[in-house]
Structure 1
Amino acid sequence: MTAAAGVRRLAGVGPKLAERLADLGIVSIGDVLLHQPNRYEDRSRITPVAELWQGSPALAVVRVEGAEIRQGRRRSLLVTTSDGAARLWLRLFHFGPDQQARLAPGTWLRLYGEPRSGAYGMEMVHPEIQVVDSEAAGYDIVARLVPVYPTVSGVSQNRLRDLVGQALSLLEQPGFWLESLPADLTGPAVSMSANQALRRIHDPPIDSDVAALAEGRDPACQRLAFEELLGHQLSLRSRRRQIRADRAPAMGQPGRGLAPLFDGLGFSPTGAQRRVIGEILADMAGRSPMLRLVQGDVGSGKTVVAAAALLTAVDNAWQGAFMAPTELLAEQHHAALSRWLEPLGMPVWLITGKRKKDDTLLAEIASGTPGVVVGTHALFQEALEFGALGLAVIDEQHRFGVDQRLALRNKAKNGGATTAHQLIMTATPIPRTLAMSAYADLDTSVIDELPPGRTPITTVAIPNTRRDEVVSRIGDAVAEGRQVYWVCTLIETSDKLEAQAAEAAAEALSEALDGVHVSLVHGRMKANDKARAMNAFKAGSIDVLVATTVIEVGVDVPNASLMIIENAERLGLAQLHQLRGRVGRGSTASHCVLLYQGPLSDTARSRLTALRKTSDGFAIARADLELRGPGEVLGTRQTGAQEFRIADLVRDADLAEAALAVADDVLAYHPREAELLIERWTSAAAAYARV
C-alpha cells in the first residue's frame, strides 16, 4: 500500500466518514498525514480539581457521583463528579442512551477540557472523556503533546487522531512514503527526512516549542513547507514547458511600425511602456507561445501596451482577442481600441453576453479576417470560432481562472499554429513571493512608471457619523468646477441590492445638494444606459456619479478629483486601491474619502491605515497579502494556486525563493523526483496540465 491509497483503506472509515473527510481535503491516506494540527495541548500532568482555573484547559481524573437530565433553555445532561477533594460538574448538550450508560455512578474518568464557572461550581462543557478501569489507571498517563486538528461536523478529534495513528504506523512500511527530494539538495529546510518531519508534527517530543509547531516555524514544518513549495513550482514549470512546446505564429515587426499608433494617441508613451512593449514584441516574434504577465499600477497605461501587441498581431495577418471581466469594462476597452486602431484601417469588434447574436460578424471572425475581438466571457461561447487567433489578451487576470484563460488560448485553430500567444494584464500588483508561486508559468513585465502630470491623492478615513460634512464637501468641490464619484458597497455581492443602495444614495445626494447634477451607474442597468451615463460624466454634464464597484477599473475622467467610498471597511485593500485610482488623473489635487461604519475590526483598521499611508500599489499588495493571505489576494481560485496545506507565502518567503532557485535543476536532472513531488502536492493541477 502507498500513501496515494484511498482513505477508506483505514480501519473505521466508511462511506459517510469518507465524505466528511473529503470536506477537509482528506481523500487519500497521504492526505491524513498532511492534515496539519493547528495547536497542541500539554497533557503531561493531572491537575487536582481544586486547582483548576477558569479558561485554562487541563487534564483531570474524577469519579462519577451521579447524572441527571436538566430541562433548561437547552436540554442537557449534568454529571456530578469528584476527585475525592473537590467536585467538578460536566455538562453535555449532545448525548444519547449509550453515553448516559457509560457515565454510571462509580465510573472513573480521565477528562480534558476547559473549566468555567457554572451554576453549582466549576464545570466543563463537553470535555474529552475517557473511561478508565480505576483511579490508578486514570493517573497512569504518558506525558505527551496532543495535536488538535482542523475538523468539520461529524469528525471528532479522537477519530482524526486514530486515523493519523494508523497512517503513522504505515510509514514503517517500505515504499509507503517515498522520499521525494533529490539527495543532493542541501540547506536548513532539508535537515530531516519527510518521514521524520511527519512524525514530529503529529507526535512531537514533550519538550518541543509548541508555539513554533503551531505557527509553522518548527524545522519539521519548514521541511514539509519547502517540499510543498517546490512541488507547486515544479507543477507550474512543467505546465509552462508543455505549453511552450506547442507552435505559435511568429510575428515580425509590422511593416509600418508602431509610430502611427503612437502618433494617434495624443500623448507619448512612457519609457516603461516602451520597454514592456519591446519585451512583448520580442516574445511574439518567436515560434514558442508567449506567456507574459504585465503588472502595472492603476493608471500606468496597460491598454496602450495591449494595443501595440494587437496592432502587431493584425498587421501580421492574425486576429487578436481582448477579454475583460465585465460588460462595462469591455465596452470601455472597445471604445478606446476603436479610437486608436480603426483609423489605421483595423476592425475592432465587440462581443458580450447581452449583445444580440450577429451571424454576419461571427462568420467574418470565423473566416479569419484580421481584426480585434473585444469581449467578456462571451468569447468562450461555442458559436464563436476564430479563423486565425494569434494573440489572446486577458485583462484583470485575477477575475478569471487558469482554465478560462487557457480555453481562450485554445481557440486558435488555423494557420498552422496550435496555440495563440497569451498576454495577461493586471492592475493589482502581485508581491514577488505570490507571483513566483502562482504564476511561475509566466514571464513577468512591470510598468513601473506613471504618465506625467498625475497628481498625488490625499486619502482620509472618516466615520459615517460625519456624513453631512462629507456631503457638504461635495458641494464645495462641484462649486469649484470639479466632479465627484460616490461609490456604494454592500457586505453581500448582489447586483439587485447594490443597485438599490446606489439608487437610494443618488436620491439622497440629489435632495441634499441643490443644483448639483447627480447620476447613477450600476450593474443592473442596460449597456446603453450605462454608456450614456459614463459619457455624460466624461463630458462634464454630470457633477456627481453614484456607482457600485463596476467603476473599479477602466474609467478615466481627469476632471474627477474627489471620491467617496461608502462602507470602505467592507472592501479589501486591492479593491480600495483600484477604486481610488479613478481620481488623481488630472492636474488638480485629488482626494479620496474612506467613509466607514464603526466600530472597526483590527483587520479593517489595518486596511484603512495602509491605504492612507501609501499610494504605492506594490506596497499595498504586500500589506494585502499579509492581511488576507494568497487565496484572497489572487481573487478567483486559480488552478495550480490552491491553498497550501503546510506552506505560508508570507511566513515562508525565504523557502519560496529557495524552491524557485532549484526548480529548473530538479526538472532537468531529477525527473522521477519531480514527478513524485508534483503528484504529491499538486495532483489536481498536474492532472489539469495534462489535459
Structure 2
Amino acid sequence: MTNPVMSIHLPVTALAGVGQALANRLAQLGVVRIFDLLMHLPRDYEDRSRIVPIGMVSHGMSVMVSGTVTWVEKNRTGLSVTLEDESGLLVLRFFKAYASLLGVMTVGAKITAFGEIKVSRYGVQMSHPEYHLTGTQQTQTGLLPIYPTVKGLHQNKLRQLVRLALQAVANDRIYSVPDAMLSAAGLRLSGDFLSALKQLHLPDRHADIFAQTELLSQLKDRSHPACRRLIVEELVAHQLSFLFRRNNVYRQKAPKCQANSALAKKLAGSLPFSLTQAQQRVIHQAVVDMTSSQPMLRLIQGDVGAGKTLVAAMVACHALDSGWQVAVMAPTEILAEQHLANFQKWFAPLGINVGWLAGKQTAKERTTALQAIADNQVQIVVGTHALFSDNVVFAKLGLVIIDEQHRFGVEQRLRLTDKSLMGSTPHQLTMTATPIPRTLAMSMYGDMDVSVIDELPPNRTPITTVTINRERRDEVIARIFDNCKAGKQAYWVCPLVEESTALDAQSAQLTYEDLVERLDIRIGLVHGKMKAVDKQAVMAEFKAGKIDLLVATTVIEVGVDVPNASLMVIENAERLGLSQLHQLRGRVGRGEAKSFCVLLYQAPLSPTGIERLNVLRDSSDGFVIAQKDLQLRGAGELLGKRQTGDMGYYLADIVRDEVLLEAAGKIAAQLIGTAEMMTTATAIMNTWLPQAQNYVNV
C-alpha cells in the first residue's frame, strides 16, 4: 500500500521509466517532485472531441477532420493526399512517403486526421497530421492537454508521466482545505485536491459540443472551478507560511524599549522642519510595537520623498535610549552611503557613534569595524549585505532597519535574528520606496504589519512630466544646456551600460561621449559596472555641484539626493517599468526650483506602451502607478525577479485572483487558529512549499 502523504513528495525518478536523463529535462521545467509534475498544468488543449466539416475549417485551427481519399500523388517532395467530405476538400501533406503510409493512403480509404490547418495560395492543407482509418480508434480523442515543454520531451511523454503521477498519489492522504471553510469564505468549490487535478489534466471528453467549448474557455483562462480550487489551496499554503513564520518569530523574546525618548525629542528639535502627521502616526505605531517583548515585524511604505529614513531614525532613538544597538542595511553601497551620511548628520551632534560595514572595506578596516560592533563602541551600524556575514556579531542588537526590503530574500532577513550576544531577537523595521498594492503586500509580506506614509512633506516641489519622441532629442539636449548654464543640474538616464545589438537602446557610455562632444558643460558618468570608489567619487562631485549633468544607468534609482537637480531625461522610457520610472523621477523635485522629467520614447509605441507612459505623465501618486504596473507587467517587474521568484506560484496570479487571495488569508487564519486543524495546516504548507520548513519552526 502506498505510504500516505509521502509519495507526492518523492522525486520524479520514483516514477517508472524516469531515469536521470529524463529527470534532467523535467528539471528544466521546474519539475523535481511528483507534486511538481502534477502542478505542471496544461497551457492549452487540443479539441479532438468532434469531427469538424472540412468546409468549416480556417487557417490556424487545430482540428479533427474525416473524409474519403480521392487523390494520391507521390513526388520528390513527399506525398500529397486529397481528402474530401460533403462540405469540401483539403490536402494532407507528408514529407516522407514511407511504406506504411502508402499502404493506408489509397483512393477510396476512409481517413480521420488531426492537425493544424494552413490556408495559402496552394489551398487548404494539413501537414504531417496524426491519422487513422476511420473506425479503428488509433488516435487519442477528447480534449488533449498541451504542456509547456523543452527540447527532447514530447507531449505524449508528458501526458504519460502525468497519468503515472496521478496513479502514484491515488492512495495518498493529501490534506486540503475543508469544504466547510471554503463555503464559510463564500467559495463554492466542491471536490478534493485530486479530483481537481484530474479535471485539469484529463478533462471531460464526453461533454456535448457547446459544453466542450465552454469547458475549453474556462480551462484556458483558469476560471474553471477545478482551477480555482487549486489556486485557493496554493494561496492558503503561502498565507500559512507567513503566519507560521510570524508566530515563530513571536515566540522569541525581543528587547523592551522605552515609550518616551529624550533622544527623539532632541533629534526632532534639531530639524529645520516639522514632521508630517503621517510620519508621526507611523513612528507611534512602531514605538508601540517596540515597547513589547514581542519582536516587531513592520514594513513602512512611502512614496518617493515621503521621509521614510527620518521616520526610521526617530524610531531608532527609542532603541538607543534603551541601551540597544541599531543596524541599518541597504542593498547597494550608494544607498548605504546615503544612509551613513544622513545618520551621521543627525546623530553625531547628539553624541551617538555611527559605524560602517561594507564589502569594499580593507581587511584592517573590517577587523576594526567588527571589533567596535562587538564591543558596543558604535551604537548605529550602517552597511550593505555585509551585515549578514557570519562573523558580524553585535553586543546588544535591538533594532534592524532594512531599506528596499524587496531586494532581500526572506532567509536573509531572518538571519539577522541571531546577531546579538544578548540572545534576544531584534525588532525589525523595513522600508520600501516602491509603493506596493495591497494584494501584492499580502502575497509578499503577509508576516509583517504594514504602515503607510501617505503624505509628502510640504517642501516637495511638484514635477512636470512630459513624453517626447526621440526624433526631438536635439531639442531636449538644447534644453539641458540652457538648464545647466542657468546654474541648475540634470540627470540623463539610459537603460544600458554598453551598446547592444539586441536592443535599440542608447548606452550610457555612448550617450556620455556624445553629450561631452556637443555640450560645453561639466558632465559625469556613473553606472553599475564602475568600481565602487570611482562611482562614489562621481556622485560626490555631482552632489557638491562640480558636475552639471550626470549621465547614469538606473543605478541612481534610489538613494540619491541632490536638491539642485531639477531636470531628468530618461532615454528609452518605454523599456522601463512604471514603478522604476517613478522612482527615477523622484530624484528631482527635491529643491525649490520647478522640476521636469522628460520621457524620451522610441516610436512607434504599442497601445500598452502609450497607456503606460500616459499613466506616469498624468499621475504622481506612487500607489496608483504601482497598481497599474502590477496589472500591466506583473509582480516580477514591480518588485524584481529575485524576490518574486521566491513566491513560487504554480498557478495563482495575484492580480487575477485578488478575491481568492482575500479568502485565502481568512482561511489560513482559521486553520492555524485551532489546535485540531494544525496538522492539516502544516501538511498543506509542506505540500506546496517544502522549502518553508527551512525558516518555519512547526
Q: Please, what TM-score do these two structures have when normalized by structure 1?
A: 0.89
Once residues 515 and 139 of structure 2 are traced to their aligned partners in structure 1, the CA distance between those partners, rounded to angstroms, is: 73
Select 1:114's aligned residue among 116, 141, 145.
116
CA 1:629–1:640: 2 relative to 1, 3 Å: closer
CA offsets 1:204-234 (integer angstroms, 9 cap, x no match): 3331422222111122211221111111101
Bigger mean CA deviation after superposition, 219-228 or 439-448: 219-228
Once residues 291 and 245 of structure 1 are traced to their aligned partners in structure 2, the CA distance between those partners, rounded to angstroms, is: 13
**Aligned residue in 1 for 2:465:** 459
- Matched-pair contact (CA < 8 Å) for 1:325–1:395: yes
Structure 2: which amino acid aligns with 1:595? L
Select 2:178's aligned residue among 164, 169, 181.
181
Select 2:63's aligned residue among 58, 82, 90.
58
Shift of 1:559: 2.4
1:371 aligns with 2:374: no
Once residues 452 and 631 of structure 2 are traced to their aligned partners in structure 1, the CA distance between those partners, rounded to angstroms, is: 22
CA 1:178–1:664: 2 relative to 1, 3 Å: closer
> 5 Å matches for 1:400-549?
400-412=408-420, 414-417=421-424, 419-490=425-496, 501-514=507-520, 516-549=521-554
**Aligned residue in 1 for 2:565:** 560
**Aligned residue in 2 for 1:74:** none
Once residues 666 and 158 of structure 1 are traced to their aligned partners in structure 2, the CA distance between those partners, rounded to angstroms, is: 40
CA 1:279–1:65: 2 relative to 1, 3 Å: same
Shift of 1:534: 2.9
Once residues 522 and 498 of structure 2 are traced to their aligned partners in structure 1, the CA distance between those partners, rounded to angstroms, is: 29
**Aligned residue in 1 for 2:245:** 239
SS at match of 1:3: helix
- Matched-pair contact (CA < 8 Å) for 1:551–1:579: yes
**Aligned residue in 1 for 2:653:** 648
Shift of 1:329: 1.1
Once residues 122 and 178 of structure 2 are traced to their aligned partners in structure 1, the CA distance between those partners, rounded to angstroms, is: 58
> 5 Å matches for 1:315-334?
315-334=321-340
Once residues 380 and 244 of structure 2 are traced to their aligned partners in structure 1, the CA distance between those partners, rounded to angstroms, is: 31
Once residues 616 and 339 of structure 2 are traced to their aligned partners in structure 1, the CA distance between those partners, rounded to angstroms, is: 28
Percent identity of equivalent pairs: 49
SS at match of 1:689: coil
> 5 Å matches for 1:608-647?
608-638=613-643, 641-647=646-652
Shift of 1:117: 4.2
1:664 aligns with 2:664: no
CA 1:527–1:37: 2 relative to 1, 3 Å: closer
Shift of 1:378: 1.8
CA offsets 1:576-628 (integer angstroms, 9 cap, x no match): 11000011222333211111223334543333222112111111111111122
Gaps of 5+ in 1: 71-77
**Aligned residue in 2 for 1:151:** 149
Shift of 1:189: 4.3
Bigger mean CA deviation after superposition, 482-491 or 459-468: 482-491
Select 1:305's aligned residue among 308, 311, 315.
311
What is the total number of aligned residue pairs between the two structures? 669
Shift of 1:344: 0.9
CA offsets 1:62-117 (integer angstroms, 9 cap, x no match): 879577775xxxxxxx443343675624356xx9xxx9576454268754321224
CA 1:613–1:125: 2 relative to 1, 3 Å: farther
Once residues 289 and 69 of structure 1 are traced to their aligned partners in structure 2, the CA distance between those partners, rounded to angstroms, is: 78
**Aligned residue in 1 for 2:351:** 345
CA offsets 1:551-593 (integer angstroms, 9 cap, x no match): 1112122222211001112211111110000112223332111
**Aligned residue in 1 for 2:48:** 43
- Matched-pair contact (CA < 8 Å) for 1:490–1:498: no
SS at match of 1:190: coil
Structure 1: which amino acid aligns with 2:135? A
CA 1:380–1:342: 2 relative to 1, 3 Å: same
Structure 1: which amino acid aligns with 2:693? A
Structure 2: which amino acid aligns with 1:287? S
SS at match of 1:554: coil
Once residues 540 and 468 of structure 2 are traced to their aligned partners in structure 1, the CA distance between those partners, rounded to angstroms, is: 30
Once residues 505 and 91 of structure 2 are traced to their aligned partners in structure 1, the CA distance between those partners, rounded to angstroms, is: 57
Select 1:6's aligned residue among 11, 17, 26.
11
Once residues 653 and 693 of structure 2 are traced to their aligned partners in structure 1, the CA distance between those partners, rounded to angstroms, is: 21
- Matched-pair contact (CA < 8 Å) for 1:216–1:222: yes
Bigger mean CA deviation after superposition, 147-156 or 396-405: 147-156
CA 1:667–1:68: 2 relative to 1, 3 Å: farther
1:204 aligns with 2:209: no
Shift of 1:167: 3.8
CA 1:385–1:110: 2 relative to 1, 3 Å: farther
- Matched-pair contact (CA < 8 Å) for 1:348–1:371: yes
> 5 Å matches for 1:232-311?
232-253=238-259, 256-311=262-317
Shift of 1:405: 1.7
Once residues 325 and 128 of structure 2 are traced to their aligned partners in structure 1, the CA distance between those partners, rounded to angstroms, is: 66
CA 1:12–1:676: 2 relative to 1, 3 Å: same
Structure 1: which amino acid aligns with 2:295? P
CA 1:22–1:68: 2 relative to 1, 3 Å: farther
CA 1:324–1:121: 2 relative to 1, 3 Å: same
CA 1:500–1:225: 2 relative to 1, 3 Å: closer
**Aligned residue in 1 for 2:592:** 587
1:390 aligns with 2:390: no
SS at match of 1:26: coil
Shift of 1:275: 1.2
Shift of 1:643: 3.5
- Matched-pair contact (CA < 8 Å) for 1:40–1:148: yes
Structure 2: which amino acid aligns with 1:360? T
Structure 1: which amino acid aligns with 2:631? E
Shift of 1:524: 3.9
Structure 2: which amino acid aligns with 1:423? L
Structure 2: which amino acid aligns with 1:380? F
SS at match of 1:287: coil
CA offsets 1:149-185 (integer angstroms, 9 cap, x no match): 22222222222222333344556x4445444436444
CA 1:5–1:14: 2 relative to 1, 3 Å: same
Shift of 1:481: 3.5
**Aligned residue in 1 for 2:361:** 355
Q: Please, what TM-score do these two structures have when normalized by structure 2?
A: 0.88
SS at match of 1:637: helix
CA 1:84–1:217: 2 relative to 1, 3 Å: closer
Bigger mean CA deviation after superposition, 446-455 or 205-214: 205-214
Structure 2: which amino acid aligns with 1:376? T
Once residues 222 and 642 of structure 1 are traced to their aligned partners in structure 2, the CA distance between those partners, rounded to angstroms, is: 18
CA 1:665–1:473: 2 relative to 1, 3 Å: same
SS at match of 2:32: coil
- Matched-pair contact (CA < 8 Å) for 1:400–1:636: no
Bigger mean CA deviation after superposition, 348-357 or 462-471: 348-357
